[in-house]
Amino acid sequence: MIIEHVALWTNKLEVLKTYYTTFFGGVSNQKYENKSKKFVSYFLTFGSGARLELMTKEGVPKNLNDKVGTQHQGLIHLAFGAQSKQEVDEKAKELSKAGFPILSGPRTTGDGYYEFETLDPDQNRIEVTWRVQRT
């Protein structure tokens, strides 16, 4: 089995589409609209084949995660794999320069990753990682 896709609800559909295509190289399909359900979405495909569905619909509550570290049960972050430590550092600088907070790192973790954590425009946690130790 593989993970086919992950989906995110948003009230900022176009903003998130731009974020993930600009900073992480996602390629978007054409917008899908179901007018009777007032549902709109995009699928973004990444170089590995992984896909991210961005969805919007009236009445979906806001994300409860915040910048100071409060987390809630359930899906907590998306991780993007870099090809090198340098690529992790460059992405952290790029996102910081664009106004996105760097919550932690870049740093080497106890389980063998070099990574940093940030937030997307909807406060979804994003990790950018490079695996230091190969097993």
CATH number reported for the structural domain that contains residue 31 in this entry:
3.10.180.10
Q: Are residues 49 and 81 in the same domain?
A: no
Whether 65 is in a domain gets the answer no
CA–CA distance, 100 with 82 (Å, rounded to integer): 18
pTM exceeds cut of 0.85: yes
Does a structural domain hold residue 30? yes
Residue 69, domain member (yes or no): no
Going residue by residue through the chain, which has 135 residues, state the pLDDT in tens, using 9 for 90 and above: 788 899 999 999 999 999 999 999 999 999 999 999 999 999 999 999 999 999 999 888 776 666 556 666 677 889 999 999 999 999 999 999 999 999 999 999 988 999 999 999 988 899 999 998 665
**Do 126 and 118 touch, CB atoms closer than 8 A?**
yes
Q: Are 83 and 47 in the same domain?
A: no
> In this structure, are 49 and 82 located in the same domain?
no
Which residues have a Cβ under 8 Å from the Cβ of 55 and sit 6 or more positions away?
7, 8, 9, 10, 13, 39, 40, 41
Count of structural domains within the chain: 2
Q: Which domain holds residue 103?
A: 77-131
